[in-house]
Structures are given as C-alpha cells and as structure tokens.
Amino acid sequence: MVFASPVFLFLFLPLFLTAYYLAPSRWRSATILAGSSIFYAWWRVDFLALLYGIILWNWLIALGIEKWRDSSRSKWLLRTGVGVNLLALGYFKYWNFGINSLFTVFIKAGIEPPDSFIEVLLPIGISFFVFHGISYIVDVWRRDTPATKNLFDFAAFITLFPHLIAGPVLRYKDLAGQFKSRRHGLDIFSEGAYRFMLGFSKKVLIADTVAPLADAAFALDSPSMADAWLGCAAYTIQLYFDFSGYSEMAVGLAMMMGFRFIENFNCPYISRSITEFWQRWHISLSTWLRDYLYIPLGGNRKGKMRTYINLFLTMLLGGLWHGANWTFILWGGWHGAILAIERLMGVNPVVPSPLFYRIIATTATLLAVMLGWVLFRSAHIGEALAFYKGMAGLNGIAVSETLRWQIKDIALCALAGGIVIVFIQPFFARYRQPVMLSKESVAIKSEMPIYMQLCAVGFFLIAVSRLLAMSYSPFLYFQF
C-alpha cells in the first residue's frame, strides 16, 4: 500500500485513525502494530514473518545486552545482533547482485555459468527496518537508551507505517519518550494534516508530472545535449519532490498520531558544497551513516588520511545500501571522493561568504549532484556513460525528434514550478520552529499562516483529482 493511492486515502487511513483514537491509551501501541501490519501485508503477507522476526531478534538482543552490560557477553551479543541483521539484509538485497556478478566473472574467464539460479525477492522496506533494529541495539550497548521491556512499544516503533517502508530512518531513543507519553490534540493533528497534504501535492503534482519527461530522456539510446540535460533536470526535480514529498507525508501522518519525527530534508539544492548537501539531503540517513558507520570506522580521530578513507568508505557503503548495482556503488564513491576532497581543502559550509561566491558554489554543487543523479537513475554503467556522452554534446545539441513528441507542456510547467519552489523554500524558514527530540535530533513545528494552509488544501484537492485519473503512483525510494 502506498500513501498516494485511493485505498490508503479513503479506506485505510480513516479506519486506522478511528480505531487509534477509540483505543484506550494502553492499547494504542498494539493498534499501531495491527494497523501497520495490515499496511505492510497489503503488499505481501508472507514477509510479515521476516518483519516480526527482525523485531523479536533485536528486542531480545537488547534485553541481553542490558542484562550482561558489565561483562564481555554484551559485546558478543552486540556483534551477533548486528551480524544477523546484516546477514538478513545481505541475503535479500544482494544475493541476486552477487550471483550475477559472479556469473559475469565466469563468462570473462571462459567458464560456462549455470543457466539460471533461484532469484530472491526483495522485501519492501527491509533496508529501513533493518537499520532501525541495528541503531536500537547499538544505542542500548552505548547506554544512549535503556532497552525497553515493552515488546508492543518496540514493535510499534519498527512497524509504525509512516516510516516503515521508505523512512525517515529513525532511532528508538528519539521516540522512546513519545511512546510513554505523547500529546494528542486538534493543533498537532491539523499541523500533521497540513504537512501530509503538502507532501502529497509535491509528490503528485510535481514529481509524478515530470516523471514521464525523465523516463523518456533516459530511455534514449543516444540522447542529444538538450535531451540529456532536460532529462537530468527532470529527474533531479522528480527525485527530490518524490522523496521529500514522501518524508513530508510521513512526518504529517506521525503528527496525526501525536508523534514528532525528525526532518529529512532542508532545501538541499541550495547547498554550497557536497558536505552541506549531505547535511540537508536525506538527513536521517546521513546522520545514521555518520553515527553508526563513519564514527565506528574511526571518524576523524585517526589522522587525516584515515579521515579521507573513512569518508569515502562511508559514502561507498551508503551507495551500496541504496541498491545492489554497480551504478549505486559508483554514485556513493562519487560523493565520497568529493567529500574527502572538500575535507582536504578545508571547505566549511557555514562560513559566511560574498553573494557572488555563494552563487558560484551553489551552481557547482548542484552540477556535481546532477552528474551523480545520472548514475543513480541509470540501470547500468553503459546507460550512464551513454547519457554522459549526450550531456557532453557528442550526439548533437538540439532536442531530438524522438524526445520532442513526448514532451508535454504540463511536464515542462511542473519542471519550471519545481525549480522555482526549490529556490524560494528557504524564505519560508521563519514559519518553522525547532523541537528537540534528543541532543542530536530535531523535529520541526510548522506555524503557517492561514492563507498557506488554505493553499495546501486547494493543491491537495487538485492532487487527489489527478491521482484518481492515474493508474498507479509508486514512490522511487520503495526500491531501496
């Protein structure tokens, strides 16, 4: 089930919220678990067993770590707990990739590989709920949070449907207090409804409208310069509005239940460096990689050269996390290399600078991001190289006839509108107030004027009308 679907909007969400608010407070975690299980099972019932297994495993491991905290058993439990989580993720997400890569090596070595092998189906959202489990047991081992004895609370945290299948990547310690006590009221519910409608409109009216333009450009065998740059721009807008729209909906749905999630995006396309970009893009993942991968690798504590290596490895593995494909690995390596170079050059994204420098730095950063998105979008390295060839003008300059007839005015309008929104968003920052969830994590409270709320309602109604005329509206990040 997806948020941008009639079944979710007109059946699941009203029924769930009714059941949730009618349930006594002590039963609300169980209600979340039941509702989220139905939400997940709408895709496939059989993978609920895997989800429940991951939940029970991490809950028991955390209790063991806390029980034997002062003995060597706790470290072995931590290693075992993380290892099993990674084995589950590795098997389901990377088995097919590993076997296909091995067969390629066989072919190049002149060895005939088997005709076929059993392909493993990727459970939706596994990357997210495995990361949630890992961060929980690590935080318990670090004494950042006590292990919860309430299985329903922990299961509700993992399965909480707003973030279950596409994030944000949350940490139990940020929501532990909210499971014990959270405020419900018309103000936070209406704020959540506003955020949900805003995210829904971003997804349907911008991301879904420019998607055909991006798809058509990337489907070309030999795109011209205009084809390639137009397609890259369309995908840059599509990906941002699709994923930030999903995150906005997740935050809004959580508020409707009284929870506050951390923000996942903060105007990333105005960044002046790749360092700043990763402080603004998919914030929950970048902070997770920093706290549970970069710092354990040594961070910046083992010398300059080790710092550069750790930055590169963190992003390389972050790219691999996004998908089992060499294009994702290269995309992660591209960002990791730039981060290391920026650290070497002493780039500081918070240092004030003249307007001219900010314009040049923002343009260069956005260009680097867009070049990376080509790898991210391409099905294989050959497709990415063909697209780069087009961007360089080696296949001609003007828009090709193949693409010209597929360009719709509405897609161009959505692309232009998305670009405008990207650069005017920072001017609305004054309506957003920080709410501390923990010393590391910040949520946002929106206090929008009534006219903006009415605009959100209007755009939402238009988006719902458009959704009803569409056959299907998947989220890009479901594949990760």
- Looking at the predicted structure, is the pLDDT value of residue 1 above 70? yes
Given CA atoms 35, 39, 42, 48 in this order, what sign does their dihedral have?
Answer: negative
What pLDDT is attached to residue 471? 64
Say which residues have a Cβ less than 8 Å from residue 306's Cβ, sequence separation at least 6: 298
- pTM (2 decimals)? 0.93
- Say if residues 248 and 448 touch (Cβ distance below 8 Å): no
Say which residues have a Cβ less than 8 Å from residue 415's Cβ, sequence separation at least 6: 210, 213, 233, 234, 237
* Alpha helices, DSSP H, located in 181-257: 186-201, 208-218, 225-256
What pLDDT is attached to residue 453? 87
Where would I find the beta strands (DSSP E) of 315-460? 432-436, 442-446
Average per-residue pLDDT for the chain? 91
What pLDDT is attached to residue 443? 84
Residue type at position 12: F
Say which residues have a Cβ less than 8 Å from residue 198's Cβ, sequence separation at least 6: 248, 252, 456, 459, 460
- Looking at the predicted structure, is the pLDDT value of residue 479 above 70? no
- Tens digits of residue pLDDT in 102-129: 888 878 878 877 777 778 888 999 999 9
Return the structure tokens found at 228.
């390639």
- Tens digits of residue pLDDT in 209-249: 999 999 999 999 999 999 999 999 999 999 999 999 999 99
CA–CA gap between residue 125 and residue 123 (Å, rounded): 6
Which residues are tagged catalytic? 322
What pLDDT is attached to residue 478? 61
- Say if residues 51 and 40 touch (Cβ distance below 8 Å): yes
Strand partners, 434: 444
CA–CA gap between residue 62 and residue 78 (Å, rounded): 8
What pLDDT is attached to residue 474? 65
Where would I find the beta strands (DSSP E) of 246-316? none
- Residue 432 backbone zone (phi > 0: left; psi -120 to 50: alpha; other: beta): beta
Q: How many CA atoms lie within 13 A of 285 on its CB side?
A: 24
Q: Give the confidence band of 472 by pLDDT, cuts at 50, 70, 90.
A: low
* Least confident span in 39-48, 69-78, 106-115: 106-115
